[in-house]
Structure 1
Amino acid sequence: MPTSTGSPKQLVLVRAVVLVRVIVVSSWHERDPPSRRSRSVCARTRGRPDGAYSRTQRVLLFASSRALPCVQLTPSARLGSRLLRRHPGRRAGDQTRRALATDRQPERASAAGQPGPALLVDSARYHAGARDAEATSIADAARLSRQGPGFVWVAVSQPAGGELDELSGCFDLPALAVKDALEGHQRPKLEQYGDCVFIVVKTVRYEEATGQLDIGELDVFVGARYAIVVSRSAGDVSGSIRRRIDGYPAVTALGPMAAVWAVLDTVVDDAERVTDLLLDRAQRIEQAVFQGDRDQSESIYLHHRRVDQLGRAVHPVLAVFDTLHRGEPVMSPDGVRALLSDASDHARRLSEEVELLSGRLDGLLSANLSRVTVRQNEIMQKVSAWAAIAAAPTIITGIYGMNFHHIPELTWPFGYAFALVVMVAAVWALHWNFRRVGWL
């Protein structure tokens, strides 16, 4: 191995580079025999086939090779996969593993050359209120929508950007609506893009055990021959929607607007169940406020925040119902319009309940603060009463404890007993008076 001499700064640089290379190679943690593990850094890394370390390792190795040419390291194509496959539990460096996982995803995507298939939850063609053909892929569903009567129902869960592009290309969906569906976190709304109607609604799910309120999103694309639901919710929302579509064949026979009713009715019913659970929780907090002694400000605030989240998901849906009730942007069949009107009434009642619950929690927070103030006043009254009781014998003891020679009671034979009687009488009188006024 060639050596080089130089200034102390160069020697420090060489040692730092060697240390970096040792850290990179030791993170591999390969199970080799002791004879192989005892080899030098150069021997362990020289001769590996060209490929790819993680991006972090490649940068460090390249920089060290440029600074220290005595050790030539070639990247290994199998280093990342062997590290994750053979030693998943080894602490080879969290940062290195994250870099490996990040690098391998773009490589797989570029090798595929096209977006992967979306997570198709359910897809079928409905004709005369019944499912007459099943679809196994997005392309198959698009083919069914162009063949035969009826409409195609498609439910997709948690799609990525490429998967939405595939869906958009097969059904010719509007680009702006697809962009909103990709970005997510949209306010509930209804928009029209030519022959396609785009509806966004929020789903709610409440875990009573943990007190966690999950807000999901449903993006609905409705055309003349299709109804597509893109779900970003943790619950089985698509299954509930399908049960409604299959359970009302007379309504399903009216076209894709039946799927719109099924979506909105499912969202409203789920929100009603969550509202009932939040109402029960509010009642338990009320009992804790008025029957317990602990401060419930934190519980009230957290519950109020959940109710506000529910209100932000429920209130804007009323505008969607109003637009559909006016026959905009598409006129719903009479059978679907009656069901939409019923769901709209439920949504309005639900919105009012959420507002009342929010106001109820505001009042409960004020009542809790008042209770805390009252308890503090009661504590101060008790402390003040006992301080006054203790002050009476203290005063008497202090008077007769002064070092004066001419205090008449000091030479009186009954002076000690008299002082004790006075102190006991003063304590009893004060205690009786404080109990009478309610301080003790």
Structure 2
Amino acid sequence: MMSMINNLRAAVRSNRRRPEATGPTAGLGAESPSSVVDCAVYQDGQRHGESCSPREAARRVREAKQKDHRESREHPGSFSWIGLHEPTEEEFEGIAQRFALHPLAVEDAVHAHQRPKVERYDDVLFAVFKTIRYVEHDRLTPTSEVVDTGELMVFAGPDFVITVRHGEHGSLRGLRRHLESDADGTGLLAKGPAAVLHAIADQVVDDYLLVADRLQTDVDDIEFDVFSPLGGPGADAGRVYQLKREVLEFKRAVAPLLRPMQQLSEPVSARLIDPEVQKYFRDVADHLARVTEQVHGFDELLNSLLQANLAQVSVAQNEDMRKITAWAAIFAVPTMITGIYGMNFENMPELHYKYGYFVVLGAVTAICIGMYRGFRRNGWL
């Protein structure tokens, strides 16, 4: 079934009219898969030439390595960065073979729906990130979508970076341009593929921080509404539950990534990552820990709000039951007395007394008034 779907997607892409290439993808050439967003070679931290096909990028890097025998982890020299968006198996197969990617990692990258993780295959790091986008809404409803998730896979080898994006957000084009311009003066691209992996992780985690801040507003609004006297008991249960579902989706994207980010900043990863770049991974791990704590706090607070909302419903139901019970007790008095006098016996008190009806009616009224005042005093009415 999956193969049929992929074949259909490939057919659609092949029949789709492609506009004339401009900008960063202008030089990709006809041999590049349609899923390639950008492909370039970087040498000593600078983009070398225009965009090219993955085959041409591999050739340029190979030639550069033959010329530069000083290349090492501390001096990566040349590497290629290939960016793809939702490639099919057929489109990714050639790239996977050219860069000797592990089949398990290739399968994860193509089919997506993976848990956030960082895995090592020999000298290649394979990272899976969940991208998060906050969905704007005027007011949270029981069916509102609050966060939208996508996926971003990164292969970081000795002389290449391959990024595979799934979803309509989480584009890396702006990040690539930022690194190429070296706007912050760090020269991270000169550190090689590990620096690109760090920059991607940093951007993903920064997006987490932005989404967490927006979620904080939603959680505060829900908390105010739950305890507001204007809203009826139980009116916000659906909204609380929907927000909790969205927070859980956010939590599944953030929590599994914390330990891998911490491991990338530890000395055990020094053989694959430059020690200078490891310092930056430590900063990413700190930010991710902050987001993780914030999301856990949201989850616990929403649990409390849901329980408080259900408790309000229970209290309201108990109050209704007490009122019903009190009125039933009051009406039971005249029902009982009139039932007794309706038995039609010959010898009954006050049955033939001239004012008997008024005496009984007054007694019923007095008893009912007394019971009503007693229930009001005890808070039942």
Residues 123, 272 of structure 2: 8 Å contact kept: no
Paired residue type of 1:141:
A
Partner SS state of residue 360, structure 2: helix
The answer to whether 1:344 aligns with 2:285 is yes
In structure 2, which of residues 44, 47, 53 is the aligned counterpart of residue 131 of structure 1?
Answer: 47
Superposed CA offset, 1:379-431 (max 9, x none): 11011011112112222322333312333433333333333322332222222
Larger radius of gyration between Structure 1 and Structure 2: 1
Deviates more, 1:364-373 or 1:347-356: 364-373
Match in the other structure for 2:378: 437
Following superposition, the deviation at residue 345 of structure 1 comes to 0.2
> Closer, same or farther in 2 for the Cα pair 1:234/1:185, shift >3 Å?
same
The answer to whether 1:254 aligns with 2:188 is no
For 2:308 and 2:9, the matched residues in 1 are separated by: 56
The answer to whether 1:187 aligns with 2:121 is no
The answer to whether 1:161 aligns with 2:161 is no
Paired residue type of 2:212:
T
Following superposition, the deviation at residue 265 of structure 1 comes to 0.9
Match in the other structure for 2:219: 282
Match in the other structure for 1:214: 148
> Closer, same or farther in 2 for the Cα pair 1:406/1:321, shift >3 Å?
same
> Closer, same or farther in 2 for the Cα pair 1:367/1:402, shift >3 Å?
same
Task: Normalising by structure 1, report the TM-score.
Answer: 0.67
> Closer, same or farther in 2 for the Cα pair 1:177/1:358, shift >3 Å?
same
Match in the other structure for 1:410: 351
Determine which structure has greater relative contact order: mean sequence separation of CA pairs < 8 Å that are 6+ residues apart, divided by chain length: 2
For 2:63 and 2:198, the matched residues in 1 are separated by: 24
Superposed CA offset, 1:230-255 (max 9, x none): 11133133235325524445222322
Match in the other structure for 2:365: 424
For 2:361 and 2:174, the matched residues in 1 are separated by: 82
Superposed CA offset, 1:198-243 (max 9, x none): 2222222342433254332211111233221111133133235325
Match in the other structure for 1:178: 106
> Closer, same or farther in 2 for the Cα pair 1:103/1:187, shift >3 Å?
closer
For 1:132 and 1:102, the matched residues in 2 are separated by: 36
Following superposition, the deviation at residue 161 of structure 1 comes to 0.2
Superposed CA offset, 1:355-379 (max 9, x none): 2222222323332332222122111
Q: Which consecutive residues of structure 2, in runs of 5 or more, have no partner in the other structure? A: 16-29, 65-76, 138-143
Following superposition, the deviation at residue 164 of structure 1 comes to 0.8
- CA-atom RMSD, angstroms? 3.2
Following superposition, the deviation at residue 129 of structure 1 comes to 4.0
The percentage of counterpart residues that share the same residue type is 38
Q: Which consecutive residues of structure 1, in runs of 5 or more, have no partner in the other structure? A: 1-97
For 1:104 and 1:163, the matched residues in 2 are separated by: 8
Aligned length: 337
Residues 10, 88 of structure 2: 8 Å contact kept: no
Partner SS state of residue 346, structure 2: coil
For 1:438 and 1:144, the matched residues in 2 are separated by: 85
Residues 124, 157 of structure 2: 8 Å contact kept: yes
In structure 1, which of residues 322, 326, 330 is the aligned counterpart of residue 262 of structure 2?
Answer: 322
The answer to whether 1:388 aligns with 2:326 is no
Paired residue type of 1:183:
H
Task: Normalising by structure 2, report the TM-score.
Answer: 0.77
Match in the other structure for 1:293: 232
> Closer, same or farther in 2 for the Cα pair 1:385/1:368, shift >3 Å?
same
The answer to whether 1:267 aligns with 2:267 is no
Map 1:28-107 to 2 at 5 A. 105=11
Deviates more, 1:195-204 or 1:257-266: 195-204
For 1:181 and 1:374, the matched residues in 2 are separated by: 52
Following superposition, the deviation at residue 298 of structure 1 comes to 4.0
The answer to whether 1:227 aligns with 2:158 is no
